[in-house]
Structure 1
């Protein structure tokens, strides 16, 4: 039996098909499935490209009847060198019964949306309900999606404070968000803080973080990266997205390898929290979500995008095996 044609979906197609509300629902369900042990996700595979100041990553997963793999990069110097995004990706969605490729789609937008969704889901489960301020350290492309996702959960009630190594980037984002550009110290004092930088040394000091804060540490996604003072992690209830990935490439990777913290201090995964197997905030003064980005998030959104494309007759059919 000849496989059906594969649906090719461009970035503009993905943009038209994927709303943040739907993305949050799909990603939250994927976290819950993973927390219940109902999804398969081998650890992310890294192909380091030090000569090009970047890397490539392969991220396969199976969840809720969908299977696929994302091929994505991280090249922080791309914008300055080539005028290209620092992150680009493709997603191959396969029929798990036959392995036939159902769709090949842009995963650049998918990655940004699912990352924003994961942070907002973490805030929903780990931040105090009385949160009133939302801080951003790192005001690049990802910060826009972090903001969109939090507004999908919280509406417009959170005051937005922005900080960046580039004052111009911070002011631009603040103007877009209707917020205020502030110092890194002031942003660090917000009720909910999202960090999304490529830092390899802490940019947020323990003294700046107030009791009651929740931090989404989104930037550390490779060995050697870190954004937070290890004292923050030692004083916080730490929730990770995945044990294998976070301990090798997440915010906790450097403190663990340097002995500044121990595995026993990590409480568990966000999937366990969402599935109701692990308490969320409890009486913790500070909570931290350490996000490395999970393949189950990607396959969940790819499934949503593909279903919407079929329903709306969007995309281009292509016969790879003709």
Structure 2
């Protein structure tokens, strides 16, 4: 079995390649899978498995220990690996660095959908969150929307954004740390949230017509990055229906009667297969990026292929 490090993954990936691989992976059969979690808020073990016909199978294993963030120096609160199984033999092929795969697949998930759902002329990008996934999302959006002229960064602890701001400054990208979130939301053409918020940060009354809202951070039923008004009257899409239905971002508006299951127009498989989606200038679009092991598998298989072709 091959063991593939984060450095090896970074050495063979770029946004065009990852987006193309993810698009191809969403034109075939849909995945089947499941997940489980044991533990509590102090320490937990998470696993999610998937079988994707024509591609293979895989399992993500993660250890979640929030107290690591308070260590000196800080340690990752989540440590993970992704195991890839061969399509034919069902044997173990490789184990890849989990956080690095997550960083690429999460941002590519959102960016692939946003190529269709966001305005081609978007100029202002607002990113909520200060972690590595938030930075990866920023990179991915700048790749798919070269029209973006300004990036607004927001986090509850603004000092955590200094490295991200410096990195964007070095690339000559217009960047500003926002202190008034409502005002930043009102200015943005694209809003991306990658936080662990349990109370809504994005208020629907501040979101302009034509804005694309991408909700990434919430994965539990009690987590909610946008209030119910963000969903009211919006065109709603998700990456994978089963996983999205378990998130508070989707569950809570449904429980409140603001949206119904039939209000979800489609998932990422639909967006990759169909060219019939037409976006009007005033359409507000909402995309719930709930993730899934099939995304890890597609990106991991692409990494393995790229390493072999060297």
TM-score normalised per structure 1: 0.86
Superimposed CA distance per residue, residues 219-263 of structure 1 (whole angstroms, 9 cap, x where no aligned partner): 111221110010111221110112211111252122223444321
Match of 1:10 in 2: 5
Q: Secondary structure at the match of 2:37?
A: strand
Q: Which residue of 1 aligns with 2:119?
A: 128
Checking the alignment, whether the CA contact within 8 Å between 1:162 and 1:181 is kept in structure 2 is: yes
Give me the whole-angstrom Cα distance separating, in 2, the residues matched to 1:74 and 1:222. Answer: 14
1:80 maps to what in 2?
70
- Map 1:157-236 to 2 at 5 A: 157-178=148-169, 179-182=175-178, 183-189=180-186, 190-236=188-234
Q: Cα offset for 1:79?
A: 1.8
| Residue correspondence of structure 1 range 1-322 to structure 2 within 5 A | 6-33=1-28, 38-43=29-34, 45-52=35-42, 54-81=44-71, 83-155=74-146, 157-178=148-169, 179-182=175-178, 183-189=180-186, 190-249=188-247, 251-276=249-274, 279=277, 281-282=279-280, 285-312=283-310
Distance 2:242 2:41 in 1: 26
Query: What's the CA shift string for 1:112-134, capped at 9, x where partnerless?
Result: 11101111112111011121111
Question: Aligned pair count?
Answer: 302
Aligned to 1:59, the other structure's residue is in SS state: strand
How far apart in 2 are the matches of 1:96 and 1:88? 26
Change (3 A) 1:156 1:110: farther
How big is the shift at 1:154? 2.3
CA contact (8 A) 1:24 1:121 kept: yes
Greater RCO between the two (CA within 8 Å, min separation 6)?
1
TM-superposed deviation, 1:211: 1.0
Alpha-carbon distance between aligned partners in 1 of 2:5 and 2:240, rounded to the nearest angstrom? 30
DSSP-derived class of the 2:205 partner:
helix
**CA-to-aligned-CA distance 1:88-113 (integer Å, 9 cap, x gap):** 32111111211111111112100111
> Any idea what the Cα deviations from partners look like across 1:50-104, whole Å, max 9, x if unmatched?
1525551313231543322222355555322572223332111111211111111
Which stretch shows the higher mean deviation, 24-33 or 107-116?
24-33
Structure 2 gap segments, 5+ residues each: 170-174
Match of 1:317 in 2: none
Distance 1:9 1:53 in 2: 26
Given that 1:70 and 1:295 are in contact with CA atoms closer than 8 Å, whether structure 2 keeps it comes out as yes
How far is 1:206 from its partner?
A: 1.2
Q: Secondary structure at the match of 2:266?
A: strand
User: For residues 283 and 133 of structure 1, do their structure 2 counterparts lie closer, same or farther at Cα, with a shift above 3 Å needed?
Assistant: closer
